[in-house]
Amino acid sequence: MLRPRPDFSVAVPHSGAIFKMNIFSSSGWFPIAHLLRPQGRRGELLADPLSDLPDLFATNHDIVLAAAGASTPAPNAANLRIEEYWFPTGKNAGRVVLKLSGCDSIPAAEALAGQQLLLAADQLPALDPGTFFVGDLVGCTLYNAAAGETAGVGTVVDVEFATGPDGRTRIESAAPLLAVELNCTAQATAGLGDQEAAERALVPLVLAWIEAIDIAARRITMRLPEGLLDTSEGSIPPSTTEP
């Protein structure tokens, strides 16, 4: 199963891992979890994490509440702390249980359900070398060194990941997929007509294919296997599993 990235994602091509967090935000706040429902007697809440970076749930971070989908805190929102967190197994695998400060009962947790937690930009963790925010990758031009492309084959418009049957648990061994909107030259090479101007190809972000990622220049250079950009019906891309 392929899952489009949430709005907040990070890719680590060196390991094939995917983390979620978008570096772009005009508000200076970043959603880290969507609160679902009470999960315990002490006010714990089950949540969908909007990041695979566990450091974002550290107890020393100040967080605030916001309406679902909002980019800024709710009016007069007070700072909260995450007192405890853990990752459940079984049917709730891929989610997180949070104990928030000031939320000490089931009714209190019910009142928070449906909202999301925001983290200030200055509390985002530093990324390791070779690790990139998906917000940095989206908008980059992809170049195919194998074909000697000088104008680029297209623009990265999204990132997708392979997940398990539950649609939440990421398959660790599967490389992230760059959703690339092909330019006219690449479409012609793939045998597509001009009317298919928004044709996309999925390109596995496999370490062995990467030659350079230059975020400042908005440029990703890869050496792609022949036929990978063929988006015609029945074409099958190469394996997206990292070695």
Q: How many residues make up the chain in this entry?
A: 243
pLDDT at 170: 73
Residue at a domain's end among 103, 122, 141:
122
Residue at a domain's end among 122, 149, 171:
122
Asked if residue 58 and residue 153 are part of one domain, the reply reads no
pLDDT at 13: 41
Residue at a domain's end among 83, 106, 122:
122
Asked if residue 158 and residue 39 are part of one domain, the reply reads no
**pTM (2 decimals)?**
0.64
Asked if residue 113 and residue 32 are part of one domain, the reply reads yes
Asked if residue 221 and residue 129 are part of one domain, the reply reads yes
Give dist(CA 134, CA 24) in Å, integer: 9
Asked if residue 66 and residue 8 are part of one domain, the reply reads no
Please enumerate in sequence order all residues whose Cβ is within 8 A of that of 20, keeping only pairs 6 or more positions apart, or say none. Answer: 5, 6, 8, 9, 10, 49, 50, 51, 52, 53, 134
Alpha helices in the chain (DSSP H): 106-112, 134-137, 184-189
Asked if residue 143 and residue 240 are part of one domain, the reply reads yes
Tens digit of pLDDT per residue, the chain (243 long)? Answer: 554 444 444 444 443 333 444 444 556 788 889 999 999 999 999 999 887 677 788 777 889 999 988 888 878 888 899 999 999 998 998 899 999 999 999 999 999 999 999 988 788 777 777 777 777 788 999 999 988 767 789 999 988 888 888 776 777 778 888 999 998 755 555 554 544 455 889 999 888 899 999 988 999 999 999 888 876 554 445 545 544
Asked if residue 237 and residue 171 are part of one domain, the reply reads yes
Number of folded domains that form the chain: 2
Asked if residue 70 and residue 11 are part of one domain, the reply reads no
Asked if residue 136 and residue 154 are part of one domain, the reply reads yes
Asked if residue 142 and residue 77 are part of one domain, the reply reads no
Helix (H) or strand (E) holding 210: strand 210-214
What's the Rg (C-alpha) of the chain? 20
Give dist(CA 232, CA 199) in Å, integer: 10
Asked if residue 191 and residue 105 are part of one domain, the reply reads no
Question: DSSP E strands: which ranges in 93-176?
Answer: 96-100, 116-120, 132-133, 141-144, 154-162
pLDDT at 88: 93
Asked if residue 222 and residue 145 are part of one domain, the reply reads yes
pLDDT at 17: 38
107 is in which domain, residue-wise? 24-122
Q: Hey, how many other C-beta atoms are within 10 angstroms of the C-beta on 131?
A: 15
Q: Which backbone phi and psi does 135 adopt, to 5 degrees?
A: -60, -25
pLDDT at 198: 59
pLDDT at 149: 64
CATH of the domain at 44: 2.40.30.60
9-to-22, 50, 52, 134, 216 alpha-carbon distances in Å: 5, 8, 8, 5, 19
